Structure formats: C-alpha cells, structure tokens
Amino acid sequence: MDKEVGHNIGRTISTGCVARSLADTSPDHKTVSLPSAERDIHEACGVVGVYAPGAEVARIAFFGIYALQHRGQESVGIATGDGEGIYIRKAMGLVSQGLHEDDLSQLPGHVSIAHTRYSTPGSSRVANAQPILAKGPDIELAIAHNGNVVNAMELREELKGWGCSFDTSSDSEVIAQLLAHAPAADWEERASYAMRRLEGAYSLTITTKDELIVMRDPLGVRPLCMGRLGNGWVVASETCALDHIGAEFIREIEPGEAVLINAAGPQTVYRKPSSNGFQASCIFEHIYFARPDSVLDGSLIYQTRMAMGAELAKEFPVEADMVIGVPDSAIAAAVGYAQAADIPYGEGLVKNRYVGRTFILPDQNMRDLGVRRKLNPLPELIKGKRLVVVDDSIVRGTTTPHVVSLLRKGGAKEVHLRICAPPIMWPCYLGVDFATKKELIAANMTVEEIRDFVKADSLGFLSTEGLLRASGRPRNKVCMACFTGNYPIPVQLEMDKLALEV
C-alpha cells in the first residue's frame, strides 16, 4: 500500500470543472514519507461536519474524525471555509499520522468537514483522499462521502459531456461535480436534483465557503447523526464522535433528508422518500462496523450485540465450561451468550491492540500476516475446557481456522463456534468491500463444510430472524443483501470497485 503522504492546502481555484488548491502548483508543495504501520482497514468511511463560528472548527473536526478511525485508515482529510474560500489538508495514513498541529493552524474558518477513508470505489492513493473539491458555475464546495453510488460510471460519462474532467477514480468526485453543476438556484433545488440522479448509498457532509450541508440517501444505508456543541452544530457518522468532542446528540439525519446549517441553525431544505417506501440501513453496522459505544436507530450498539449473543444461545445451545469472545467486536455478544446460557464468561484470547481487524484488508498477504500477529491465547485459562467461541462473522474464512488452531494449541478441549451474523453469501455494492462471491466461504461451502474447514467441534450462524429480533429493526428497514442476495436497488453483479480508475 501507499506509504507516501501528500498534502493539499490553499484557497481553491478551478479551471473548467476541475477544482484544485493553490498548493498543487506551489513550490513548497511536498510529499512526506511517514513510518510504515499496520493499518486496520474497515468497511467504508467516516465523515464529520462542524458549523461553529468563533470555535476552532478544524480542531473539532480533527477530534471528531479521530473517534471514527475504526471506519477507515487509508487516508484522512479536513476542509474548512472562512467566508472567503475553502481550505483543505489531506494525507495518506491514520488521522494522527497524516494531520498535525501545523496543518490545523492553516485551516481557518467557522465551518469544517472531515473524512477518514477506506477505499470502496477508487484505489488507495492520495488523489482519492477526501474531502474532494469542486467548482461549478456559481458555487464552490468540498464534500466528504461515506457510501457507494452504483450509477457513478454513467453519471461521470454524462458530466464529461458537460465539459468536466476528473482528477480521481472515486464516485465521491462524481457526487461533488454533480452537486457543483446542478441546475439549481438554492440548496433545496440542488439537493433535489442530486437525489433524483444518484443511486446507491451516500451520507455526505458538504462545505461551501460559509455553510454546512449534510445529505443522506433515501434508503438510509449509512448512518449520520447531528449534535449540538455550544452555539454550534456537529454532524458525524456515529454518536461516539459527538461524545468525544462534548457535543449533545440531537437526532439522526433522516433517510432522504438534506439539512442546511448556517447562522440560522439547522434547516431541513429537502426530503426525498425512497421510491418503494422501504429503507435499507446496513445491518452490518449493528454487527460489526459501528463502535459499541455508539447509538444507532435508538439503541446502544453494545446492548444490540449482547442481544445477538442471547439469540445465538437460544438457537445453538451447547454444553460448555466457558464462553469467550473474539476481540474486540464480538465481546459484547459473548457476554450476552454467556448470560443467556448461564455459562461463565471469560477471556481466552488477548488482542494485540496495535494490529487491526483483518477481514477487509485489501491484500491477501497482508491479511495473512495480520492474522498471525493479531491474537494470543491464554492457556492457563482455557486448558481442558469446552469453549463456546463467539465471533461477529466469517467472510473469507481466513481468520477463523487460525483462531480455532490457537485455542486448541492453548489446550482447549472443545471449540464450539457461534457467529453473530448469518452466512455471508453475497458481495456488498453499497459501501462494504467484503469480497467477490467466489471469495466468500459461505457462498461456496455448506455450514457443515465450513465447520470441517475451520476444524471446530460445532458451528452455528445466527438466523436472519434472530438478527432482526436482536437489532429491533423490522425487515423493511434494513439491508441484509449480503445474507439474502435481495438488494434494495438494482446493482451490477460483481461490479469492480476500480471501475472508475483513470
């Protein structure tokens, strides 16, 4: 992966449809090398937006996006507006690696957006880092995007016909150019036009030189919430980001809602219901992606995962001596299983906190290396015991055999795997880079074949019905396409995430 860190900073200027910063051509524009580090690559992205006149909005955005580091580790960026122009700083790597005190000091203004990225559409390179700038006939803006627009290719070709050229290979630049060139007189018309044209998942924070705009797609696939910070306002992918900066959670941005935040406060300028009346929030946010201390759909994620474990105990009971969870995302579910089954909970695996989650690292060799360095068993606690081992999911089947082997080498007498997700049999096209169908182990093996492959004594996947009960969400409000193959919108099967590569 790219170990170079590039910085862009400056008031934006543009030629035609291509927005650039002044530093792109300035003599002091530099590429800086950072020490290599394990990077925990996750499902999609995290976004933050801040409107707070009189406050250090770049610093607020920095700590907000720092709390969302679990959502992406490939690149980071912050853009601000001061009433005169838009300024941006972005880099490859983690938030703490890519942005420093001198970066924040060069981001003036009263409005800010921030982004941390894992590449879904578009490769991992600094050109694809966000926020992305765009300039239209009568507006200049920068956007930070979480999600995946499935008709980005067609829209990009159309925008090229309007005279636009593109600097990146991401669908986010397509959204930025579409918004900048929308035939609109105000944000109500601009949001209406964009939502009529865009298909797929998009939670957006957008800054102009003086206002903050947030938009969420009509299906509500990716989360987005709003909080109050003194006399200002903050928007973020998860409530944990609001907590970290001391903001008071107010509400979630509704699916299909566009909110303008300026000196008058938040104003809903447009609402678009989904075409079929359904919503499709990603159920994997509840299972794995969201931090356990975030509140989503009115429920604390930790409690939702405990409920998943309790459902697993009902669906797949087994005689055992101890329940353990695979750190970190399955710990709450393991506690829930243990309580429901009346089996003692304990820790049997220790995680190296400086090695990240591995199931969506973009390179197989790195994935294998990550698994070997990630976990260590506690033999004195598990020796001779029948273990129930709770994990959040099995995707490619890379990690699980290693976990079972570690536990057996540590002296476990039996290993009974319990998985908080149903078998993942279909790829995601709405912002999660799982794998292709041929790489998904459950798409190519039966449950019994998977059990034999991972060498467990028994294996149980939570049912879709149990998952819905645990999440408290009705079936017509969530997307479970990775389990069922029933996508909320038409998608191009086996769509290449690098299709927009230039």
Q: Just list the catalytic residues.
A: 45
Element (H, E) at 143: strand 140-149
Q: Where are the alpha helices (DSSP H) in 181-279?
A: 187-197, 239-244
- End-to-end Cα separation, the chain, in angstroms: 18
Angle between helices 301-315 and 331-341 (to 10 degrees): 50
CA separation for the pair 171, 156 (Å, rounded): 8
Distance of CA 91 to the CA centre of its chain: 18
CB atoms near residue 277 (< 10 Å): 8
Separation in Å, CA 21 to CA 9, 140, 180, 226, 368? 6, 12, 16, 29, 39
CA separation for the pair 332, 306 (Å, rounded): 5
CA separation for the pair 378, 61 (Å, rounded): 40
CA separation for the pair 343, 401 (Å, rounded): 24
Please spell the DSSP secondary structure of 57-100, one letter per residue. Answer: HHHHHHHHHHTTGGG--SEEEEEEE-SS-EEEEEEES-HHHH--
